[in-house]
Amino acid sequence: MFKKVFPLSAILSLRFLGLFLVLPMISIYALSLDGATPLLVGVVVGGYALTQAIFQVPFGSMSDKIGRKPTILIGLVIFFIGSVVCAYSTDIYTLMLGRFLQGAGAIGSVITAMISDLVEEKIRGKAMAIMGASIALSFALAMGLGPVIGASYGVDTLFFITAGLSIFAILVLFTKVPTPPRIKHIYHGKVTTKDILKDSNLLNMIIINAMQKGLMTSAFVLIPIILTSDAFAWEKSDLYMVYLPAMVLGLIAMGPAAVFGEKHNKPKEIFLVSIVLFIGAFLTMGLTTSSTMFIVGVSMFFIAFNMMEPLVQSMITKFAKVHQKGAALGIANSVAYFATFIGGTFTGLMLDISDRGVIGISIAATATIWLLWTLKLQNPIKHSHLYISKDSIDLAKLESLENEHIAEWYINETENVIVIKYIPSAMDEDELKGKILR
């Protein structure tokens, strides 16, 4: 499993490392450019997410049709171009254009769908945890290096590094990433957005994913601006002393959360605890006058974010049927990136017309509504998978079999295997075999 997942996780991590490197500094940097206002700074921080939102669904659907690898290549090339535009920008509008281009290379859902293609569902949670951990490590590395490199060599250097990372990711794609199996599913209808949104489990996960990502950009607009303002008067080069320990605490919390959420099938409980921490984090960052308490608030934010991160994508792939994975992840990430854009833009606007106390209370109130909504979430039903040679199956019997305890079945044509997803507590494996074997 690790050999299949690690190269894809590395590609996504390299891309996120590039995005994360600038996060600790970009709001301060953008505010210094010609034409900058707090609102436009908020747009720049979350700008990549607007085009991510627009292109997630097309990229996800495209990957289902032309293949995952070609789609990932297209996304990485666009990301490279956007990074170069950002590096050479001298005014707020050029920087905004570059951020929009960075986001247009929307490959996140494609990589997640490819991992689900390569890895059996029973160990997919571990695969998603590996992916989440690699992204979190990129986050931690970026929080330490970004402020130091940006303060010493300029934020434009961070964008050049980002462009170089995208080239390295392309090399990994064509030298280390295996080709996924050809899957023939049993569904003949076209996947529609309506079908996905009608599934209450998928809808709940789409909302959870969106809120988590929206709060991320709100935090990264607020944290550097507030810490370097007159309220606390931190130097830009010292910001790593806040981000790095907070990220370490987040990484420590992520492991137990992933185990409890996946192995013990309690993701709902993890999501609820995380939302409570988000509420506490923004109230603390908005209202405190103490640097120490502000750092506590930042730490609470990172712990909450990292507890959720390895579970969200995994739950979406569990609830989606095999022919919906690319589209479902595309829709979920599209909505999430739109929320990311709104989070940054809203926070920038609020900084223009209000203060951090009002912002903290407003975000905490919104998160409280989110908490109440999430109480309706159901933990996923545990399924097992029967892997059996296609040659030993009577396809006529399988195609005619209708059973409420069978979620779906599909054919892995590369390995000549039929995969049947069923509820083991309601149906015995031998009973199932008896219904479909020749």
Residue type, 312: V
Residue 251 near residue 306, CB atoms below 8 Å: yes
Q: Could you report the per-residue pLDDT of 364-412, keeping only the tens digit for each?
A: 999 999 999 999 888 877 767 788 888 888 877 777 766 666 777 777 7
Query: Is 80 exceeded by the pLDDT of residue 225?
Result: yes
Residue (of 29, 53, 50) closest to 41 by Cα position: 29
Task: Give the 3-state secondary structure of the chain.
Answer: CHHHHHHHHHHHHHHHHHHHHHHHHHHHHHHCCECCCHHHHHHHHHHHHHHHHHHHHHHHHHHHHHCHHHHHHHHHHHHHHHHHHHHCCCEHHHHHHHHHHHHHCCCHHHHHHHHHHHCCHHHHHHHHHHHHHHHHHHHHHHHHHHHHHHHHHCHHHHHHHHHHHHHHHHHHHHHCCCCCCCEEECCCCCCCHHHHHHCHHHHHHHHHHHHHHHHHHHHHHHHHHHHCCCCCCCCHHHCHHHHHHHHHHHHHHHHHHHHHHHHCCCHHHHHHHHHHHHHHHHHHHHHCCCHHHHHHHHHHHHHHHHHHHHHHHHHHHHHCCHHHHHHHHHHHHHHHHHHHHHHHHHHHHHHHHCCHHHHHHHHHHHHHHHHHHHCCCCCCCCCEEEEEEHHHECHHHHHHCCCCCEEEEEEECCCCEEEEEECCCCCCHHHHHHHHEC
Query: Lowest mean pLDDT: which of 206-215, 218-227, 372-381?
Result: 372-381
Domain boundary assignment for the chain: 2-179+193-374, 384-436
State the pLDDT at residue 129: 65
State the pLDDT at residue 75: 93
Q: Which fold has domain 384-436?
A: Alpha-Beta Plaits (3.30.70)
Residue type, 321: K
Mean pLDDT of the chain: 84
CB atoms within 10 A of CB 394: 13
In this prediction the pTM is 0.77
Query: Is 60 exceeded by the pLDDT of residue 121?
Result: no
Q: Tell how far CA 176 is from the center of its chain.
A: 22
Beta bridge partners of 410: 185, 419
Residue 15 near residue 169, CB atoms below 8 Å: yes
The yes-or-no answer to whether 2-179+193-374 and 384-436 have a common fold is no
Task: Give the 3-state secondary structure of 374-403.
Answer: HCCCCCCCCCEEEEEEHHHECHHHHHHCCC
Q: How far apart are CA 438 and CA 434, in angstroms?
A: 9
Residue (of 261, 227, 249, 24) closest to 128 by Cα position: 261
Q: Tell how far CA 438 is from the center of its chain.
A: 43
158: CB partners within 8 A, 6+ apart: 21, 22, 25, 146, 149, 150
Q: Could you report the per-residue pLDDT of 283-295, keeping only the tens digit for each?
A: 999 999 999 999 9
Q: Could you report the per-residue pLDDT of 296-319, keeping only the tens digit for each?
A: 999 999 999 989 887 887 788 777
Residue 104 near residue 89, CB atoms below 8 Å: no
Q: Could you report the per-residue pLDDT of 138-195, keeping only the tens digit for each?
A: 877 887 788 888 888 889 999 999 999 999 999 999 898 877 666 555 444 456 677 7
Instruction: Output the CA angle 229-234-236, nearest 5 degrees.
Output: 95
Q: Could you report the per-residue pLDDT of 235-257, keeping only the tens digit for each?
A: 877 887 888 888 889 888 988 99
Q: Could you report the per-residue pLDDT of 9-54, keeping only the tens digit for each?
A: 888 888 888 888 898 889 889 988 999 998 999 999 988 888 888 8
Q: How far apart are CA 358 and CA 349, in angstroms?
A: 12
Tokens at 129, concatenated = 């945890």
Residue type, 25: M
Give CATH superfamily name and number for 2-179+193-374. Answer: MFS general substrate transporter like domains (1.20.1250.20)
Q: How far apart are CA 200 and CA 194, in angstroms?
A: 11
Using the structure block, give the residue that is written with the tokens 């003949």.
Answer: 188
Q: How far apart are CA 409 and CA 202, in angstroms?
A: 19
Distances (CA, A) of 153 to 87, 145, 273: 12, 12, 40
